[in-house]
Structure 1
C-alpha cells in the first residue's frame, strides 16, 4: 500500500500562528515560567514556541516529559507510560505544557494532573493542533494553534510509525493502493 501526504497547514501559516500564541502567552504574565514539552511529537513546535516566547520578552526554563500512549501505532491506548520525567522543581511555578496535538486528552490530562500534584501553581496547555471531537478526558487547551479536522496528521514533529516527523509542514495521510510500499509526498 502507498499513501499521499496532503498539506493541511504550510510552513508560513504555522510560523505566523506560533508568533501569535507566544504573544498571547506573554500577555498572561506567568510566574517563574517552566515550559514542559511532551515528547516526542511536540519537539519542533516546542522549540519554535520557546524561541517566539523569547522574542515576546519572556524568560523561562525548558523541560521535557516523554510520555507514551501510541507506541508505533496510529491509535492511542488508555495506558500512559512515563518514559522520561521532568527533573526541575515545579512547586509554586506556572507551567506551560506544550504538545503537538490534543486529541483524546488522556496524555495531557495525565501530565497536567502529575504536575499539579507536585505543587505547580498553574498548568496551562499549549497545543499546535486541537481535535475537540475526539476528546475522552476532561481537558481544554488554553492556547491552540489550529483546530484539526478528523484526519491522521504527520509532519512538524508528528509521525506515523516514527516516520515523517521532519516535514516542515503539517499534512494528512491518504492511503492509496499501489504496486510498492513507498510513501509519496505531495501537495
Structure 2
C-alpha cells in the first residue's frame, strides 16, 4: 500500500485507479453476458456516481445500450455508520415494469439500502433487479443480500475516494483509500 496526504489527512490507497478500471471493465462484460432485456441502470446517489459513470462507459464498450435513471437514498446522513432506516430522497422517474434493472451502489455494507432499493423496484414490476457494487464489506451485513457483481472485497475501514466521501471531502480521488488520521 502507498499513501498520500491531502489537507493534513493521511490516506492509504487500497485500490488504485488502474485496478479499478480493469475491474470495472470486467463487471461490464459480466453484465453483458447476462443478456439483459430493456436494461435500465439505476445508480444510487451520491457515492456511486463515479463508479456508475465508468461502468456505463464500459458497458457501452461491452455492447450494451442501457437507459439511465437515478435514485438517492439515505441511511447514513452525517454519520459514519448506518442509522438502520432508509429514506428515499430522490426516486426514479422511469417505469420499470417488465424491464431488467441494474442497481449500482458504491459499497455493500449492512445491505439495508441496496435491499430496500431492490425490493422497491421488484415490487414495481421489474423483470429482474441485479446489483453491482464497487466494494463489498461482508462482515457488517444486516440484510440478506449479496451483490450480483462486485468490484472488490473491502477491509473493515471507512473508505473514501472514487465518489465516496468523508463529510463531503475526497469524492474526487481516482482511487479508493482510507483516512488514517481522521479529525
Q: TM-score, normalized by length of structure 2? A: 0.94
Gaps of 5+ in 2: 1-7
Q: 2:58 pairs with 52, 55, 70, which one?
A: 52
Q: 1:166 pairs with 160, 172, 175, which one?
A: 172
Higher relative contact order (CA 8 A, sep 6+): 1
Q: SS of the residue aligned with 1:17?
A: helix
Provide the residue aligned with 2:124 in structure 1: 118
- Tell me the number of residue pairs that the alignment of Structure 1 and Structure 2 aligns: 176
Q: Does 1:74 align with 2:80?
A: yes
Provide the residue aligned with 2:39 in structure 1: 33
Q: Is the CA contact (8 Å cut-off) linking 1:35 and 1:96 kept in structure 2? A: yes
Distance 1:3 1:16 in 2: 28
Q: Is the CA contact (8 Å cut-off) linking 1:72 and 1:162 kept in structure 2? A: no
Provide the residue aligned with 1:92 in structure 2: 98
Correspondence 1:146-165 to 2 at 5 A? 146-165=152-171
Deviation at 1:101?
0.3
Deviation at 1:7?
0.3
Deviation at 1:3?
3.8
Deviation at 1:38?
0.2
State the Cα RMSD in Å: 1.0
Provide the residue aligned with 1:105 in structure 2: 111
Deviation at 1:116?
0.3
Distance 1:64 1:11 in 2: 24
Provide the residue aligned with 1:63 in structure 2: 69
Q: TM-score, normalized by length of structure 1? A: 0.92
Distance 1:73 1:154 in 2: 14
